[in-house]
Amino acid sequence: MTTAARGRPRDPALDKAIMTAALDSFIEHGIAGMSIEQVAKRAGVGKPTVYRRWSSKEQLVADAIEAFVATGVQWPSRDEIDAVRPQELIRRNIDTAARTAADAMFRALVAQIYGSAVTHPLLMQTYWDHYVGPRRTLAIAMLKRAQSEGSVPPDADLDVLVDMLAGAVTYRVLQPNPPNARQMRRYLESAYRQVGLLP
C-alpha cells in the first residue's frame, strides 16, 4: 500500500476486491478509459469506500499491479544472490519466469502500463519505484557477481544489460503471435546466454 488508511481499520478482503476490480478495469480500458466510479461499481462498493483508501486511480492501479505481480515470480533475495552462483539462480527461476512472461494477463497488463507511460507518468513512476526499481537492483547485483566470475565482460554497462534483458522480453511479449511458456523459456535461455548469465 502506498496510501495510508484514512479513518477506520482496513478490511483486507475489501481492499483485495477493490484492487481486483481496478486491475480488471485497467487491463480492459487502460488508465485513460477507467474511473474510480467504474471500479467501485465493479467491486460492489460505494465511491467513498474507494476514496477512503486511495486518493487517485493512478495510486489504486499502482497498488493493484504491485499486489498482482507480488503473487508471481519469486525473485531471489540479496542473500541468495550473494550465496548462489548467477547461472544456478537463473536455472532455478527460468521456468517460473517463462510462465509469467507468457501469461495472457501479464501481457495485457504490461501493454497497458507501457501505454500509459507518457499520458499518465505517475503510474509508470509508481510501478517503477515500487516494482521495477528493487528488482533491477537485484538483477544488477547478480550481473556484478557474474562479472566478477568472468562470464559477463568487465566493461559491460550493467544498466544497459538489464534493459536489454527486460526490454527484449517486453518487446517479444507485445509482438503479434506472442510465445507460449515453452517458447518463452527457449527465448529466455537465448537472451541469458547472450549476456553471459547462462553458458
HEC profile for the chain?
Answer: CCCCCCCCCCCHHHHHHHHHHHHHHHHHHCCCCCCHHHHHHHHCCCHHHHHHHCCCHHHHHHHHHHHHHHCCCCCCCHHHHHHCCHHHHHHHHHHHHHHHHHCHHHHHHHHHHHHCCCCCHHHHHHHHHHHHHHHHHHHHHHHHHHHHHCCCCCCCCHHHHHHHHHHHHHHHHCCCCCCCHHHHHHHHHHHHHHHCCCC
For a second copy, give the closer residue by CB, 32 or 83: 32
* Of 78, 167, 180, 182, the one binding a second copy by CB under 8 A: 167
CB of 56 to a second copy, least distance (A): 17
Contact stretch for a second copy (CB under 8 A) within 9-17, 50-58, 85-93, 155-163: 155-163
Among 94, 138, 156, 198, binds a second copy (CB under 8 A): 156
Query: Which 114-143 residues touch a second copy, going by CB under 8 A?
Result: 114-119, 121, 124-125, 128
Using CB under 8 A, count the residues that bind a second copy. Answer: 43
- Give the length of the chain: 199
Tell which positions 52-71 bind a second copy, by CB under 8 A: none
Binding region for a second copy (CB under 8 A) out of 15-23, 38-46, 92-100, 173-181? 173-181
Q: Which of 23, 90, 191, 197 binds a second copy (CB under 8 A)?
A: 191
Which residues form the interface with a second copy (CB under 8 A)?
A: 27-30, 32-33, 107-108, 111-112, 114-119, 121, 124-125, 128, 156-157, 160-161, 163-172, 174-176, 187, 190-191, 193-195
